[in-house]
Structure 1
Amino acid sequence: MQSARVTTVVDASSSMSELVPGTNRSRMDVTKASLLQALATFTPEDEIGLWQFSTKLDGDKDYRVLVPTGRLGDSKDGGTQRDKLSAAFSELAPVPNGATGLYDTTLAAYTEATASYAKGKFNALVVLTDGVNQDPGSISRSTLIRRLQELTDPDRPVPLIMIAVGPDADREEAQQIAGSTGGTGQEVSDPSQIHEVILKAIVAAGAEGSGG
């Protein structure tokens, strides 16, 4: 299986602090555990990065790049990229009163993912959100979809895998946005399913990419 370049973008809006039904753990706690499980399955050759988003996290930007996408086996400043990601995933926390700046973040992350496309690898952008766009100053859904379509290049495919977590997320919207890039929208009722969904989506998209 070819190695992957995947940037993970995680919703840090305040609703991620809500408890997952039947557990005493928040959506964010379960999401983090699931992402760490997914991370463990990637090889040192895989390139993984992490962004988080809410609203106005970094000045006017709704997102912050926590760990720029890089090869898991690479060492820098005494630790590997994998170590940095493990630490960054573990430290993810919901932003008090933070809303969901979904559209601007998705566009920024997709712009970066397509610009830094790694040839010979399976490239993808994974966006996890537990809600719908709540940023009144953001671009519209139709603008987002149009811009994503403009950025999509069949010769340099970067499918967007959008995972709608929990009851407030909009699966149809996730499918519509992700579909504009040749990716898929997924829905998980329980955040602990995230790692399975990510890996399945990557395997499916990778198989399609190598067959096409």
Structure 2
Amino acid sequence: MTRPIRALVVQDVSGSMRLDAGGRSRAQLLRDASIYGLAAFPKNTALGYWEFSIDRGGPGVPYREVAPIAPIMDKTGGVLNRDVLGKAIDSSLKNLRGGTGLYDTALAAFKKVYDTYDPAYSNSVILMTDGRNEVAHSITLNQLVSELNIMKNPARRIPIITIGISDDADADALKRISEATGGSSFIAHDPKDIGDILLKAVSFRVQDA
């Protein structure tokens, strides 16, 4: 109950994030919510950041590591990692393209946290998307859930907390992904609610930790 939070934040940077959400794009709203959310994490938190769309990490690889998981109050090049993450998120959400590679990304993110699991922390994945899987040759949702169930280990509890942005997000798929790992799923039906939803997800991690 006293373990600090260690989370890999995974954000959708597909082209649909440009869509208008009441005068501002989904990406702009997510950017503001994410920067605000960074400040809500306790100082002993460790965070990493991935972006995903299609081929974001190269041909056939929908995800790309932008910042490895590290304590947010440590410094990289003399700059707090919390500020490094803020700049990385801002840059990512200005470079939007392609479709959504959801399933392969979710599995890879879970495996990354599993392989680097730190028992001194409460480990998790926080995944945000406004769409559904659009990679024709990816694993299926059933295969993803099956893989997550196979890898699930009581000694390495790693919930995936999913956040759907707008009603375009595949709520059923996100719920199944979260449930397979003991996590929770949240949907911001109005993109303007992203900030409140993100804080609920952060609160879920704080309470769980």
Structure-2-length-normalised TM-score: 0.91
d(CA) in 1 for partners of 2:97, 2:200: 33
Task: Give the unaligned 5+ runs of structure 1.
Answer: none
**What's the counterpart of residue 129 of structure 2?**
129
Shift of 1:97: 4.6
d(CA) in 2 for partners of 1:89, 1:5: 18
**What's the counterpart of residue 166 of structure 2?**
166
The reply to whether residue 49 of structure 1 matches residue 48 of structure 2 is yes
**What's the counterpart of residue 13 of structure 1?**
14
**What's the counterpart of residue 69 of structure 1?**
69
Aligned with 2:56: secondary structure? strand
Count of residue correspondences:
207
d(CA) in 2 for partners of 1:88, 1:190: 25
d(CA) in 2 for partners of 1:111, 1:168: 27
**Range 39-48 or range 98-107, more displaced:** 39-48
Matches within 5 A, 1:178-197: 178-197=178-197
Shift of 1:40: 0.7
1:90-112 deviation digits (Å, cap 9, x = unpaired): 11236555000000111111100
Shift of 1:64: 0.7
The aligned amino acid for 2:10 is: V
The aligned amino acid for 1:3 is: P
The aligned amino acid for 2:172 is: E
The aligned amino acid for 2:126 is: V
d(CA) in 1 for partners of 2:5, 2:75: 18
d(CA) in 2 for partners of 1:93, 1:201: 20
d(CA) in 2 for partners of 1:143, 1:128: 20
* Runs of 4+ with >4 A deviation: 94-97
Shift of 1:126: 0.6
d(CA) in 2 for partners of 1:195, 1:97: 23
Shift of 1:133: 0.2
Identical columns (%)? 31
Note if contact 1:30-1:192 (Cα within 8 Å) is conserved in structure 2: yes
Shift of 1:194: 3.4
Shift of 1:169: 0.8
Note if contact 2:40-2:202 (Cα within 8 Å) is conserved in structure 1: no
Aligned with 2:145: secondary structure? helix
Structure 1 residues 134 and 111, CA gap change in structure 2 (3 angstroms): same
d(CA) in 2 for partners of 1:153, 1:195: 32
Note if contact 2:165-2:189 (Cα within 8 Å) is conserved in structure 1: yes
Note if contact 2:37-2:202 (Cα within 8 Å) is conserved in structure 1: no
**What's the counterpart of residue 25 of structure 1?**
24
Note if contact 1:175-1:184 (Cα within 8 Å) is conserved in structure 2: yes
Task: Give the unaligned 5+ runs of structure 2.
Answer: none
Higher relative contact order (CA 8 A, sep 6+): 2
Aligned with 1:37: secondary structure? helix
1:157-189 deviation digits (Å, cap 9, x = unpaired): 110011111121121211111100111221112
The reply to whether residue 101 of structure 1 matches residue 97 of structure 2 is no
Structure-1-length-normalised TM-score: 0.90
d(CA) in 2 for partners of 1:161, 1:195: 15
Note if contact 2:31-2:93 (Cα within 8 Å) is conserved in structure 1: no
User: CA-atom RMSD, angstroms?
Assistant: 1.8
Structure 1 residues 195 and 96, CA gap change in structure 2 (3 angstroms): closer
